[in-house]
Amino acid sequence: MTLLLLLLSASRAHADCPTAYTGATLVKDLGSVQSALRNLDDSAFGASGKSLEAGLPCLDMTAPPQLFASAYRYLGAVHYMVNNDPEGAKRWFRASLELDPTYQWDAQELDLNHPMRAVYEAERPNAPAEGDRLQGKDLDVPAGSSYLLDGRVLVEPRATTGRPHLLQVAVTGSRHADHTWLVDGNSFPDEVLRVPPPVVAVAEDPKKTSKTAKTTPKATTPVATPTPVARTTPAPVAKADPTKPTTPAPVASTPTAKAEPTKTTEPTKTTAPEPVAKAEPAKTPTTKPDTKLAKATAVTGEDGVQHMVVKRTRPAEKTPLLIVGAVGLASAAGLYAYSWKLDQDFNAATTSDDLTRLQAQNHAFVIASGASLLVGAGIGYWGVILDGNTVGFSVGGRF
């Protein structure tokens, strides 16, 4: 029945609309209204605005809320500037600001001193609203479809009163609108509403709970009666024993109960060996690093007494470093000696070409001599201070 009503209402809507108002036509009319407002073309502004207002109820496409906000804003301008209808303009302005509350008129569209700007700004505080729900009705949503109010999904018959709204029904996930209505506030058409089903099962619940409440006390009363019998039987038995006051009974119970706490002394046995176990790190020899520097061997002398002979170990890198350092120092001396010979030849030169050539050679040999001196001295010093424990540079002497 719901689908049949929608099809019948859609056929009547198509009869009222000579042609479908497409999304492309909506965008075209919005561009025309905006251009006419910027160019102060009153005739084009009025014609585009009327086409926009007449086409909205015949729109066959869904659109985002921002697009509807622009359409409502320009329709308010048309009502104010063309139709001389300030009250109608306020209604459209409130609908626009509800969807886009932060919009400001551009100075190229509307002069800063235009009186319509003040009317628009006066409606800004009145725009935010949660909407009023239509009481006693629910939305009759077709299977696989959804209702949209101003481009937003509508789940209950709720809308803000005092302003126009565009209601659409479309297949979920589709951009095509099966039907479009231009409604005032929450005055939704009857074909989209239904009466909620009455709740009948609520009256039966108290009867069921009362029956269970009556049966539960009967089940609990016989169970509670044996409890006093259990309390009376142990009392006389415990009081009849004073005729047999034998001392062995308490004596035998007391030593066994007091002897058990002596087992708590066992932790004293575990505390004694702990210091012994912690003393093991002291066995690490302090002379272990010295094994890299010296090697001790036991030698038995002629007198039968063992003597410890300590020999210092020489690192394998020490001798090559000393040799390379010495060669570097010798090379530095040889290069500098040859540079001194070139200096003598420079002083004895008679042509400019010889002077230039000898000067360049002299400088090259002096620089090479200095570099060789630095390298040889560094490598040699490295070999001098090298030992089995530390490698690095130090200041001091060794005797």
Q: Does the pLDDT at position 322 exceed 60? A: yes
Give residues with Cβ within 8 angstroms of 321, minimum separation 6: 379, 380, 382, 383, 386
Residue 20 tokens, joined: 């479908």
Tell me the pLDDT tens digit for each residue of 97-106. 999 999 999 9
Do residues 325 and 380 touch, judged by C-beta distance below 8 A?
yes
pLDDT above 70 covers what percent of the chain? 64
Smallest CA-to-CA distance from 163 within 152, 149, 177, 178 is with 149
Write down the domain spans for the chain: 2-194, 318-385
pLDDT at 3: 34
For the chain, report the end-to-end CA distance as a whole number of angstroms.
Answer: 116
Q: Which comes out higher in pLDDT, residue 266 or 109?
A: 109
For CA atoms 6, 9, 13, 14, the dihedral sign is positive
Could you give phi then psi for residue 195, rounded to 5 degrees? -85, 130
Q: Does the pLDDT at position 243 exceed 60? A: no
Q: How far is CA 385 from the centre of its chain?
A: 58
At residue 312's C-alpha, the angle toward residues 309 and 318, to 5°, is: 160
| 262-282 average pLDDT score | 46
- pLDDT tier, 24 (very low <50, low <70, confident <90, very high otherwise): very high
153, β-bridge pairs: 148
Tell me the pLDDT tens digit for each residue of 354-397. 888 888 888 888 898 888 888 888 887 767 776 645 444 455 44
Tell me the pLDDT tens digit for each residue of 244-271. 444 444 434 444 444 444 444 444 444 4
Tell me the pLDDT tens digit for each residue of 162-207. 999 999 999 998 899 999 999 999 999 999 999 988 876 655 566 6
